[in-house]
Structure 1
Amino acid sequence: MLTKNIELDFGKVTIHENIIIAKLNEGILFDVENNKKLLELGKEIFNQKNYGYISHRVNSYAVDPMVYFESANTKNLKAIAVVSENEMTRRNADQVERKFYKGNNSFEVFQTLEEAVQWIRTRI
Structure 2
Amino acid sequence: MGMLHYYNFPETEMFVFDEFLICQIREGAEIHPEYNEKLNKVIQKHFTGKNMVYISNRVNSYSVNPLTYVETERIPNLIAIAMIPETELMKKNAEFERDFFDKPYEIFDSLSKAIQWAHTIVKD
Q: TM-score, normalised by structure 1?
A: 0.91
Listed as ranges, the gaps of 5+ residues in structure 2 are: none
Listed as ranges, the gaps of 5+ residues in structure 1 are: none
Residue type matched to 1:75 in 2? P
For residues 46-78 of structure 1, give each alpha carbon's deviation from its aligned partner in whole angstroms, at most 9, with x where no partner exists.
112100001101000001111111121222111
Matching of residue 106 in structure 1 with residue 104 in structure 2 = yes
Residues 35-54 of structure 1 mapped to structure 2, 5 A cutoff: 35-54=36-55
- Structure 2 CA distance for aligned equivalents of residues 47 and 15 of structure 1: 13
Query: Could you tell me how far 1:35 is from its partner in structure 2?
Result: 2.3
Residues 29-68 of structure 1 mapped to structure 2, 5 A cutoff: 29-68=30-69
8 A Cα contact 2:85 2:94, kept in partner: no
- Structure 2 CA distance for aligned equivalents of residues 122 and 50 of structure 1: 12
- Structure 2 CA distance for aligned equivalents of residues 16 and 86 of structure 1: 26
- Structure 2 CA distance for aligned equivalents of residues 74 and 24 of structure 1: 19
What SS is found at the alignment partner of 1:100? coil
Q: TM-score, normalised by structure 2?
A: 0.91
- Structure 1 CA distance for aligned equivalents of residues 37 and 119 of structure 2: 23
- The root-mean-square deviation of aligned C-alpha atoms, in Å, is 1.1
Number of positions where the alignment pairs a residue of Structure 1 with one of Structure 2: 121
**Partner residue in 1 for 2:91:** 90
- Structure 1 CA distance for aligned equivalents of residues 75 and 86 of structure 2: 28
Query: Could you tell me how far 1:38 is from its partner in structure 2?
Result: 0.9
Query: Could you tell me how far 1:97 is from its partner in structure 2?
Result: 0.2
**Partner residue in 2 for 1:7:** 8
